[in-house]
Amino acid sequence: MRVLVAEDDRGLREVLVQGLEDAGYLVDAVDRGDDAVDQLKFYDYDVAILDWRMPGLQGVEVASWARTHDKPTAILMLTARDAPPDRIQGLDAGADDYLVKPFDFGELLARVRALQRRPRGVDSPVLTRGRLSLDPARRQVTVDGRLLNLTPAEFHITELLMRRFPSVVDRKAIAEHAWRDETEPLGSNVIDVKMSRLRAKLANAGVRIVTVRGSGFRLEEAH
């Protein structure tokens, strides 16, 4: 398992490197944010431990760089700041976890283990497909920056189709994710009606809802 440590405080950096190596990890360390980006360019790290504030680039900036460049690396942010807004910013920028300094080293190891355990893909906080993008935090859907006006149900369905892309999403899953009582839509044709409306609204979004007869629906990038 390969781990990247980006921390400008020399003492802490050495503690991290030593401790992680003792725990059996292969560790590379840098002391600047831009150096961290360079490392991420060339190596596939399982986990990157980033300090919140560093020379060069901030931790958040490194995180969102990694996300926008589809890096498979899980990101653990270290921060001295304990104010929630900062943490939220970190998480929404694409960090997978964070830890407030000072921290217990055993806990850091546990969090690293938790991060490497989940097969973490490369989902940026904002889902994008074709010209369409969906921001879960803001609950907004845009096409080329132009805001789409979706109803709650339509939003849920769109989010589900985007998250499951390119898989087929069956009616049961749609019912579970977009209705409080999931038995309700299954007896009627509500789902079909929603799909019809959604298709109309997504008409020019570089994306298309394909029906898979007998199975469900699937999102497809329009050619």
Partner DNA sequence: TAAGAATCTTCATGAAAATGAAAGGTGATC
Partner DNA sequence: GATCACCTTTCATTTTCATGAAGATTCTTA
Residues that bind DNA (CB under 7 A): 149, 151-154, 179, 184-185, 187-190, 192-197, 199-200, 211, 213-216
Residue 80 touches which member of its own copies, DNA, none, C-beta under 5-8 Å by kind: none
Q: By rule CB under 8 A, what count of residues binds its own copies?
A: 64
Q: What is the nearest approach in angstroms of its own copies to the Cβ of residue 55?
A: 26
Report residue 168: phi and psi, to 5°.
Answer: -75, 135
Residue 214: exposure state from Cβ atoms within 10 A (0-12, 13-18, ≥19): exposed
Residue 157: exposure state from Cβ atoms within 10 A (0-12, 13-18, ≥19): buried
Contact present, 126 and 135 (Cβ < 8 Å) = yes
Report how far residue 207's alpha carbon sits from residue 222's, in angstroms, rounded to the nearest whole number.
5
Q: Which of 48, 60, 71, 155 binds its own copies (CB under 8 A)?
A: 155
Q: Which residue has the tokens 């460049």?
A: 69
Under DSSP, is residue 164 helix (H, G, I), strand (E, B) or coil?
Answer: helix
Q: What is the nearest approach in angstroms of DNA to the Cβ of residue 144?
A: 21
Residue 223 touches which member of its own copies, DNA, none, C-beta under 5-8 Å by kind: none
| Nearest Cα residue to 197 out of 130, 150, 134, 159 | 150
Q: Which residue lies nearer to its own copies by CB, 55 or 106?
A: 106
Q: Which of 8, 31, 61, 182 binds its own copies (CB under 8 A)?
A: 182
Does 138 participate in binding its own copies (rule CB under 8 A)?
A: yes
Does 102 participate in binding its own copies (rule CB under 8 A)?
A: no
Report residue 87: phi and psi, to 5°.
Answer: -60, -40
Q: Which residue lies nearer to its own copies by CB, 55 or 211?
A: 211
Does 118 participate in binding its own copies (rule CB under 8 A)?
A: yes
| Nearest Cα residue to 123 out of 136, 138, 114 | 136
Residues that bind its own copies (CB under 8 A): 1-2, 23-24, 26, 43-44, 46, 74, 84-85, 87-88, 91-92, 95-97, 104, 106-107, 109-111, 113-114, 116-125, 136-140, 151-152, 155-156, 159-160, 163-164, 166-168, 173, 176-180, 182, 212-215, 218
